[in-house]
Amino acid sequence: MSTMSRTVLALGLALSASAAKNSIVAPTGAETLTVALLGDYGWTGWQPLPLDFCNTATPKLQAAGVEIPRALQNDCDAGDRQAISNATIEETRTARYIEKVCLQKNCSAFISVGDNFYDSGVDFTSEGIQRFYEGWADMYVGEAFDGKPWYQALGNHDIVAGQAGVDFQTRIAPLMEDRWYFGNDNLPYYTYDLTGSNWSATFVVVDSDCFINKYQDNSSVYNTDYVISCHKDTNTQVEFLRKSFAESDATWKILQIHHGYISSSSNYTELQPLIDVVRENNGVVVNGHDHCMAHYQYQGMDFVLTGGAGYAEAGDCNYGVPLGPYAKWLGADAMQAANGFVTLDISYESLNFEYYARDMKLKGADYYPVKNDMKPSYNFSVTKHAAKGSH
């Protein structure tokens, strides 16, 4: 079947599906509710294309005027090809580590900041379905994961397959697996509330891929039909965020997004309109994209980077060296970034973020030593409540 035929099939089936109204949701009424924050994890099941195709056949095809689909270009990425072996090991071990910590902390839900499937996302094909099960549904199983909702977001690797890939994650996957949650409107942006005995927290998920200017370059593997279209109308998501926060009287307000506005690697200043809304509401930003964990404070706002659940890269956290006063903690050293995730304990009094870095042992070496990785390597709390909604 041709790429176009697969795309048409995926779109046709996806558009005929409605979101799962009975998707699992987090429990309500607790004085303190603990959720897990993670991202940049979905390496398992990805098979890079044969080296001969990437290095020999591709240049010949391009010289003959054959258009190479962006997903195939991305699956030839030399850096990701080199990383796949360790990335798969690290994701698998980190998944088991997350389970251990979440059993200890009684995590009630999982919050993803995207890059759910490397290298080029998944769509509604045999290969995509197999990847969905191998890389997620059958990976994150066990007492800590079973029956717990995953509030999902899209990352740049999730959009390489274009609209067909976005439709699979936002429309098809929730019908396949109750834990996979993407709102009820079949859109890549949505909002949800977590509610306790005397508090509530409003989360708004936005697809930051639509805002990134360089993804509009024709040479970018992310320059797909989907991202070209949504880039023309980023105001829709900005206004969705504004409206969602304005209509909420929640104790806490959190933006859940993939790219980082402030980081030690790449600052995506195009996200400024979103950040302005969060600032006006005394909110917090949770993001991924950089393959490490960090805490940043900038212009009175807290930014939580939780991108260490798959292949960790020390350079994304500047090898553990703070670039400025805004970097409060970096989960990396001169050689390695930490695998791990962040837990969030939500109560009326505070949002308490705890960063769990895994003691990373491989082939007899401990290349990110943590004395006791069942305790957080770093933590901080937010105590200033969100601004009340204006309705």
Q: Is the pLDDT of residue 310 over 50?
A: yes
For the residues 338-360, what does the mean pLDDT come to?
98
- Structural domain count, the chain: 1
pLDDT at residue 16, as a whole number: 44
pLDDT at residue 181, as a whole number: 97
Q: Is the pLDDT of residue 363 over 90?
A: no
* CATH code: domain of residue 157: 3.60.21.10
For residue 248, give the nearest of 204, 184, 302 by alpha carbon: 204
pLDDT band at 12 (very low <50, low <70, confident <90, very high): very low
Question: In terms of C-beta density within 10 A (0-12 exposed, 13-18 middle, 19 or more buried), how is residue 269 classed?
Answer: exposed
Q: Decide if 390 is inside a domain.
A: no
Q: Decide if 259 is inside a domain.
A: yes
Amino acid residing at 292: C
pLDDT at residue 122, as a whole number: 96
Q: Is the pLDDT of residue 71 over 50?
A: yes
Whole-number average pLDDT of the chain? 93
Q: Decide if 387 is inside a domain.
A: no
Q: Decide if 33 is inside a domain.
A: yes
Q: Decide if 388 is inside a domain.
A: no
**Other residues' Cβ atoms within 10 Å of the Cβ of residue 48:** 17
Q: Decide if 184 is inside a domain.
A: yes
Find the domain containing 204 and state its range: 3-382
pLDDT at residue 365, as a whole number: 82
pTM: 0.93
Give the Cα separation of 265 and 322 in Å (integer): 11
**Other residues' Cβ atoms within 10 Å of the Cβ of residue 138:** 11
Q: Decide if 389 is inside a domain.
A: no
pLDDT at residue 1, as a whole number: 39
